[in-house]
Amino acid sequence: MPEQHASRRLSPRAAPGGPVGATPTVTRRVLLAGGAVGGLTLATGLLAACTDPGSHSAAGHGASGHGTGRTFEAPTPVTPTADQRVVERTLTAKPVTLDLGGPTVPTWAYGDTAPGPLIRANAGDLLRIRVDNRLPAETTVHWHGIRLRNQADGVPGLTQDPIAQNSSYTYEFAAPDPGTYFFHPHVGVQLDRGLYAPLIIDDPHEPGGYDAEWVVVLDDWVDGTGRDPDAVLESLRAGGGPAHDHGSMGMGGMGGMDMGPTPWGNAGDVLYPYYLVNGRIPTAPDVLGAKPGQRVRIRLINAASDTVFAVSLGGHRLTVTHTDGYAVQPQEVSALYLGMGERYDVVATLGDGVFPLAATPFGKSGLAMGLIRTGSGSAPDPPVAPAELAGPVLIGSDLKPAESSLLPVRRPDVVLPVVLAGQMQPYTWTINGGTFGRNDPLVVQAGQRVRLRIQNQSMMTHPVHVHGHTFALASSGLRKDTVLVRHMEVREIDFDADNPGSWMVHCHNAYHGEAGMMIELAYRG
Ligand code: C2O
Ligand code: CU
């Protein structure tokens, strides 16, 4: 069974560009996110300080849906059906100071924590979620992965007007598919603040078959460490930031672990000072408790803006059961990759002791880590990546779909090219030859089976996300809503055009999206 992920492990000599973390041409292009790294950083910091804090990601500035010139009425209220349960919540998006486990950072979050409060419902429930915007900026909330009604999708300029400062907006939608999801803003690079939280849709009829369940959210963190995400974007636009060579850092601090070459080429533009599991740094980790021998389901969410993680649980194998909400043929792995916006559910039978649940940022130095405690013992000090991460790492798109997840077999009615391109200098990322709004929408008709032919013509990996629909990989039928498309790869994805509206198709690297790598999917005729 594990034949495919083992074969993906390239030998160091076979890798065309050599180890990513050690290649100067790669690392020079990576921007160091963090304070006090040279004159350019200082200059950008001053620039940012002189600007109205609300204006960075305000309407008309970015590509994340703004600037279409469209305006919107309030969404049509939804009346629940007779037997439909209503799940009501209020989210307050506001400035907060968070303790990451030592470092404290001023940031923006939903409530007082990042990740924000879990929202949980059953498939078919009506979610009614009021968002109070207490941020010094406009915002929206996007319910990532949910096949919901278009009016609730949270994309300013495509589905709603942005939520102004000190005002509220109520999202009402049914969530049809069980699974692991999350939510985040769709304005500027607000995703790279603390504005994210898990959304779990349960299947009341699912057998379960596990004793405990944890939600584990991965993130890359810069906000409040001397820079905020808007300043990082400004630096990228100004030419990639300080041209420091961090190649040696890329391999250091990992207990001598060879991260080795992997399939992703360049997978990020920003080096972050911190990588987090459930909002905590590795030296003061989130601790998840259970009993030895228990079977736990771990719902892994990559909420990072610019980081692909490789994830493992020290001393354990993981059985992957779902991705992006859909069941797969269970596959046992030592480690797996998570692209930005991807989710994987894994099951593990726990040993007795203390185990690191660790994630390494691909092509960058650092570590994200939580701890699983079932018995006595102490955490590794200093925190190190477990041996499991040095072996083969599963590439999610190599998974096979469960029977229940298959789209009915059908020939595509239309094949639409989606050409990904871009570079660091000037910092521009495009789809079909243009940044968002300058490219022509992908046009489909209701009822069509649509094939998107994604051609990555850049040297970076891009997590491609489709709103309002879930797709099947043409190669295997694997169902997902976000898929990593590696450098120069061509990847075909199929979906049924069964949810009319204006939708986003975009790269889930927050900086790429904001630099243009988005396109509208429009229903016509
Ligand atoms: Cu989570 Cu349009 O994205
Ligand atoms: Cu991208």
d(C-alpha 507, C-alpha 513), whole Å:
6
- What is the DSSP secondary-structure string of 15-42? -TT--GGG-HHHHTTSEEPSSSS-HHHH
CA of residue 406 to ligand 2 center, whole Å: 27
Say if residue 128 is exposed, middle or buried (CB neighbours under 10 Å; 0-12, 13-18, 19+): middle
Q: If you ran DSSP here, which 8-state letter would residue 424 be given?
A: T
pLDDT over threshold 70, residue 306:
yes
Q: pLDDT grade, residue 252 (50/70/90)?
A: very low
CA of residue 348 to ligand 1 center, whole Å: 29
d(C-alpha 223, C-alpha 216), whole Å:
20
Q: Ligand 1, closest atom to CA 513?
A: 2
CA of residue 142 to ligand 1 center, whole Å: 6
Q: Ligand 1, closest atom to CA 182?
A: 1
Q: pLDDT grade, residue 60 (50/70/90)?
A: very low
For residues 40-59, give the mean pLDDT.
31
d(C-alpha 344, C-alpha 180), whole Å:
8
For residues 503-519, give the mean pLDDT.
98
Ligand nearest to the CA of residue 142, numbered in listed order? 1
Instruction: Report the nearest-CA residue for atom 3 of ligand 1.
Output: 144
Which backbone phi and psi does 193 adopt, to 5 degrees? -90, -155
CA of residue 507 to ligand 2 center, whole Å: 5
d(C-alpha 348, C-alpha 138), whole Å:
41
d(C-alpha 438, C-alpha 432), whole Å:
9
CA of residue 430 to ligand 2 center, whole Å: 9
Question: Please, are residues 413 and 281 in contact by the beta-carbon 8 Å criterion?
Answer: no
CA of residue 511 to ligand 2 center, whole Å: 8
pLDDT over threshold 60, residue 458:
yes
Q: Which pLDDT value is given to residue 18?
A: 26
Ligand nearest to the CA of residue 507, numbered in listed order? 2
Q: pLDDT grade, residue 396 (50/70/90)?
A: very high
222 vs 56, residue with greater confidence: 222
pLDDT over threshold 80, residue 45:
no
Q: Which pLDDT value is given to residue 381?
A: 87
Instruction: Report the nearest-CA residue for atom 1 of ligand 1.
Output: 144
Question: Please, are residues 334 and 317 in contact by the beta-carbon 8 Å criterion?
Answer: yes
Q: If you ran DSSP here, which 8-state letter would residue 307 be given?
A: -
Q: Ligand 1, closest atom to CA 155?
A: 2
Ligand nearest to the CA of residue 505, numbered in listed order? 1
Which backbone phi and psi does 166 adopt, to 5 degrees? 60, 30
Ligand nearest to the CA of residue 340, numbered in listed order? 1
Q: Residue 449 in 3-state DSSP?
A: strand
Which backbone phi and psi does 456 adopt, to 5 degrees? -85, 105
CA of residue 191 to ligand 1 center, whole Å: 9
Q: Ligand 1, closest atom to CA 518?
A: 2
- What is the DSSP secondary-structure string of 120-142? EEETTPEEEEEEEE-SSS-B--E
CA of residue 350 to ligand 1 center, whole Å: 33
Q: Ligand 1, closest atom to CA 341?
A: 1
pTM for the whole structure: 0.87
Q: Name residues contacting ligand 1 (CB within 6 A).
A: 142, 144, 184, 186, 341, 465, 467, 504, 506, 508
Residue 366's CB is within 10 A of a number of other CB atoms, namely 22
Write the single-letter amino acid at 179: G
pLDDT, averaged across the chain:
86
CA of residue 426 to ligand 2 center, whole Å: 15
Q: pLDDT per residue over 214-241, tens digit each?
A: 999 999 999 999 999 999 999 999 986 4
Ligand nearest to the CA of residue 269, numbered in listed order? 2
**Strands 197-202, 119-122: pairing kind:** parallel
d(C-alpha 43, C-alpha 66), whole Å:
28
Q: Ligand 1, closest atom to CA 504?
A: 2
Q: Which pLDDT value is given to residue 9?
A: 28
CA of residue 233 to ligand 2 center, whole Å: 14
249 vs 483, residue with greater confidence: 483
d(C-alpha 35, C-alpha 361), whole Å:
20
The CA-CA-CA angle for residues 60, 64, 65, to 5°, reads 70
pLDDT over threshold 90, residue 64:
no
Ligand nearest to the CA of residue 428, numbered in listed order? 2
Q: Ligand 1, closest atom to CA 482?
A: 1
206 vs 211, residue with greater confidence: 211
CA of residue 36 to ligand 1 center, whole Å: 32
Say if residue 484 is exposed, middle or buried (CB neighbours under 10 Å; 0-12, 13-18, 19+): buried
Q: Ligand 1, closest atom to CA 184?
A: 1
Q: Which pLDDT value is given to residue 372?
A: 97
Question: Which of 56-60, 229-233, 408-412, 470-474 has the least mean pLDDT?
Answer: 56-60
User: At 174, which helix (H) or strand (E)?
Assistant: strand 167-174
Q: Which pLDDT value is given to residue 58?
A: 33
Q: Ligand 1, closest atom to CA 191?
A: 1
